[in-house]
Amino acid sequence: MSKPSDLVQGTLDMLLLKILALEPMNGFAVSQRLKQVSGDILQMSDGSLYPALHKLEQEGWITAEWKTSEYGRRAKYYSLTHLGRRQLEKEADNWGRLSSAISRVIKLKEA
Amino acid sequence: MRPEHWLYTIPLRLRSLFRRRQADQELDDELRDHVERKTQEYNAKGLVPEEARRQALIEMGGIEKRKEECRDARRVRWLQDLAQDLRFGLRMLRKSPAFTAITIATLAMGIGANGAIFAVIENVLLKPLPFPDSAELVDLGHDVPGIGLHGRSAPFLYFIYGEQSRSFQSMGLWRENSNNLTGLAEPEHVRSLALTSEVLPMVGVQPLLGRLFSAADTAPGAPLTAMLAYGFWREKFGADTSMIGRNIIIDGQPRQVIGVLPRNFWFMDSKAAVVLPLQFDRNKIFLGQFQYSGIARLKPGVSVAQASADCARLIPVALRSFPPFPGLSLASFERERITPAFTSLKASLLGDIGGVLWVLMGTIGMVLLIACANVANLMLVRTQGRQQEFAIRSALGAGWWQIARELLVESLVLGVAGGAVGACLALGALRLLQFLHPANLPRLEQISMDAASVLFTFAISVFAGLLFGLIPAIRYAGGGGAAALRTAGRGASESRQRHRARNTLVVVQVALALVLLIGSGLMIRTFQALRHVNPGFVRPEELQTFDISIPRSVSAAPVAVTRMEQSIADKIAAVPGVSSVGLTNDVPMDDGHWYDPVQIEGREADNLPGRVYKFVSPGLLATMGNSLVAGRDFTWEDLYDQHRVVMLSENLARELWGTPQAALGKHVRHLSISPWLEVIGVVGDERADGVDQPAPETIYWPLLMDHFGPDPLHATPDVSYVVRTPRARSSALMQELSQAVWSVSKELPLANPQTLEDLYNKSLSRTSLALVMLGIAGAMAFALGVAGLYGVISYSVAQRTREIGIRVAMGAQHSTVRRMFIAEGARLTVIGIAVGSVAALGLMRLMASLLFGVKPFDPLTYAGVAAALAAAAAMASYIPARRAMRVDPIVALRYE
The Cα B171–Cα B370 span in angstroms is: 51
Residues B203, B193: contact at Cβ < 8 Å?
Answer: no
Q: What is the CA radius of gyration of chain B?
A: 39
- Give residue B678's pLDDT: 92
Same domain, B269 and B285: yes
- Give residue B482's pLDDT: 57
Same domain, B717 and B774: no
Measure A101 CA to nearest chain B CA, in Å: 28
Cα dist. B112→B109, B416, B420, B427, B454 in Å? Answer: 5, 12, 9, 8, 10
The Cα B781–Cα B367 span in angstroms is: 6
Ramachandran quadrant class, B626 (left: phi over 0; alpha: psi -120 to 50; beta: rest): beta
- 3-state secondary structure at position B297: strand
Residues B255, B228: contact at Cβ < 8 Å?
Answer: no
Residue of B nearest to A45 (CA): B59
Q: How many CB atoms lie within 10 A of CB B532?
A: 9
The Cα B692–Cα B289 span in angstroms is: 28
Using alpha carbons only, give the angle B87, B90, B91 rounded to the nearest 5 degrees: 85
Which stretches of chain B score pLDDT less than 50? 1, 488, 490-493
CB contact B66 to A (< 8 Å): yes
Residue B348 located in a structural domain: no
Pairing of strands B751-755, B543-549: antiparallel
Cα dist. B137→B127, B132, B206, B302, B309 in Å? Answer: 14, 9, 18, 11, 17
Q: Which of B17, B53, B67 is nearest to A50 (CA)?
A: B67
3-state helix/strand/coil string of B753-801: EEEHHHHHHHHCHHHHHHHHHHHHHHHHHHHHHHHHHHHHHHHHHHHCH
Best mutation target among B15, B32, B34 (most A Cβ atoms within 10 Å) is B34
- Give residue B517's pLDDT: 86
Phi first, then psi: what are they for B209, rounded to 5°? -130, 155
Query: B-chain residues within 8 Å CB-CB of A1?
Result: 59
Cα dist. B325→B476, B572, B709 in Å? Answer: 82, 37, 9
The Cα B737–Cα B562 span in angstroms is: 18
The Cα B806–Cα B800 span in angstroms is: 10
Question: Interface pTM (ipTM) of the complex?
Answer: 0.82
Q: Which domain holds residue B468?
A: 77-132+353-491
Using alpha carbons only, give the angle B679, B681, B683 rounded to the nearest 5 degrees: 125
Q: Which of B135, B178, B124, B285 is nearest to B590 (CA)?
A: B178
Pairing of strands B293-298, B142-144: unpaired
Angle between helices B353-385 and B765-799 (to 10 degrees): 10
Task: Report the percentage of chain B scoring pLDDT > 90.
Answer: 23
The Cα B212–Cα B762 span in angstroms is: 35
The Cα B517–Cα B111 span in angstroms is: 20
The Cα B372–Cα B891 span in angstroms is: 36
Pairing of strands B225-228, B253-260: parallel
Angle between helices B2-18 and A82-106 (to 10 degrees): 110
Q: Which of B871, B799, B66 is nearest to B381 (CA)?
A: B799
Query: B-chain residues within 8 Å CB-CB of A28?
Result: 33-34, 37-38
Query: A-chain residues within 8 Å CB-CB of B33?
Result: 26, 28, 69, 73-76
Measure B70 CA to nearest chain A CA, in Å: 4
Q: Do B36 and A46 touch (CB under 8 A)?
A: no
- Look at chain B and report how many structural domains it folds into: 5
Domain boundary (B341, B362, B378) is at: B341
Residue B539 located in a structural domain: no
The Cα B292–Cα B199 span in angstroms is: 13
Q: Which of B683, B700, B579 is nearest to B627 (CA)?
A: B683
Residues B792, B824: contact at Cβ < 8 Å?
Answer: no
- Give residue B570's pLDDT: 92
Query: A-chain residues within 8 Å CB-CB of B1?
Result: 86
Residue of B nearest to A58 (CA): B74
Residue B543 located in a structural domain: no
Decide: residue B561, CB within 10 A, 0-12 exposed, 13-18 middle, 19+ buried: buried
Rounded average pLDDT over A81-89: 91
Residues B428-460: tens digit of each pLDDT: 888 888 887 776 778 888 888 889 999 999 999
The Cα B597–Cα B646 span in angstroms is: 15
Query: B-chain residues within 8 Å CB-CB of A83?
Result: 4-5, 8
Residues A110, A61: contact at Cβ < 8 Å?
Answer: no
Pairing of strands B698-702, B610-616: parallel
Same domain, B94 and B202: no
Same domain, B367 and B483: yes
A45, A50, A74: residue with CB nearest B70: A50
Query: B-chain residues within 8 Å CB-CB of A54?
Result: 27, 70-71, 73-74
Q: Do A58 and B74 touch (CB under 8 A)?
A: yes
Residue B753 located in a structural domain: no
Residues 845-864 of chain B with CB under 8 A from chain A are: none
The Cα B892–Cα B810 span in angstroms is: 13
Contacts of B685 (CB under 8 A, 6+ apart): B536, B649, B650, B651, B695
CB contact B30 to A (< 8 Å): yes
CB contact B37 to A (< 8 Å): yes
CB contact B34 to A (< 8 Å): yes
Same domain, B766 and B640: no
The Cα B817–Cα B807 span in angstroms is: 8
Query: B-chain residues within 8 Å CB-CB of A27?
Result: 30, 34
- Give residue A8's pLDDT: 63
Residue of A nearest to B35 (CA): A28
Residues A36-55: tens digit of each pLDDT: 888 877 777 888 888 888 88
Residue of A nearest to B59 (CA): A46
Measure B486 CA to nearest chain A CA, in Å: 32
Same domain, B297 and B179: yes
Same domain, B427 and B501: no
Residue B675 located in a structural domain: yes
Domain boundary (B711, B727, B747) is at: B747
Element counts in chain A: helices (H) and strands (E): 4, 3
3-state helix/strand/coil string of B535-548: CCCCCHHHEEEEEE
CB contact B29 to A (< 8 Å): yes
The Cα B581–Cα B624 span in angstroms is: 9
- Give residue B6's pLDDT: 63
pTM: 0.69
Same domain, B504 and B643: no
CB contact B127 to A (< 8 Å): no
Residue B752 located in a structural domain: no
Q: Do B13 and A57 touch (CB under 8 A)?
A: no
Cα dist. B555→B550, B561, B572, B746 in Å? Answer: 7, 6, 20, 12
Query: A-chain residues within 8 Å CB-CB of B60?
Result: 46-47
The Cα B449–Cα B122 span in angstroms is: 10
Residues B726-783: tens digit of each pLDDT: 888 777 888 888 888 888 887 777 777 888 888 888 777 777 777 777 777 888 788 8
- Give residue B484's pLDDT: 57
Same domain, B219 and B328: yes
Q: Do A51 and B1 touch (CB under 8 A)?
A: no
Residue of A nearest to B61 (CA): A47
CB contact B32 to A (< 8 Å): no
Same domain, B470 and B513: no
Residue of B nearest to A67 (CA): B30
Q: Which of B235, B241, B242 is nearest to B274 (CA)?
A: B235
Residues B760, B540: contact at Cβ < 8 Å?
Answer: yes
Domains of chain A: 9-106 (1.10.10.10)
Q: In this structure, what DSSP letter does residue B282 have?
A: G
A-B CB pairs within 8 A amount to 73
Q: In this structure, what DSSP letter does residue B216 have?
A: T
Domain boundary (B341, B368, B386) is at: B341
CB contact B69 to A (< 8 Å): yes
Same domain, B478 and B458: yes
CB contact B9 to A (< 8 Å): yes
Same domain, B293 and B360: no
Phi first, then psi: what are they for B717, rounded to 5°? -75, -20
Query: B-chain residues within 8 Å CB-CB of A52?
Result: 73
Residue B690 located in a structural domain: yes
Residue B542 located in a structural domain: no
